[in-house]
Amino acid sequence: MAKQAKARRLPASSVQAKVVNLRISPRKLNLVAQSIRGLKVQRALNELEFSPKRIASDVRKALNSAISNAENNHNLDIDNLFVAEAYVGKNLVMKRFAARARGRSSRIEKPFSEITIVVRELGEAA
């Protein structure tokens, strides 16, 4: 017997894309996510294209993935899409040790984070 498909958590006019293992701290990634929240997708892509942040290219890939999901899987019009939500979460943290003076060591933490981008289609009334 096949497993039942999960019910969709998002409304019919919303689509999401998620990137799980991004090698950056969530605090730094949230700065980039804040810059695209609430923007139309074309404007958000332009913001990410010219952003000086290193992680902006990975966020841009995630946004392009959400746009492709909306177009191919849900038949939404890409001209009417906007970034409804862009939120960041913590992921694993690699722990490393660095040699210090007098035979001691200190811990270096290398955090990973994840980003979820939800795009929604504007209604005709809006």
What domain range is 33 assigned to?
Answer: 16-121
pTM of the model: 0.88
Q: What is the pLDDT of residues 22-35, one digit of tens each?
A: 999 999 999 999 99
Question: CB-hemisphere CA count at 13 Å for 100?
Answer: 7
Give mean pLDDT, residues 71-99: 95
| In-domain check, residue 93 | yes
Number of domains comprising the chain: 1
Determine which helix (DSSP H) or strand (DSSP E) holds 84, and give its type and residue range: strand 81-99
CATH (domain of 94): 3.90.470.10
Tokens of 118: 């939800």
If pLDDT is split at 50, 70 and 90, which confidence band does 125 have? very low
Q: Which pLDDT tens digit goes with each residue over 55-76? A: 999 999 999 999 999 999 999 9
Domain assignment present for 57: yes
Flag whether 103 is in a domain. Answer: yes
Q: What is the pLDDT of residue 126?
A: 46
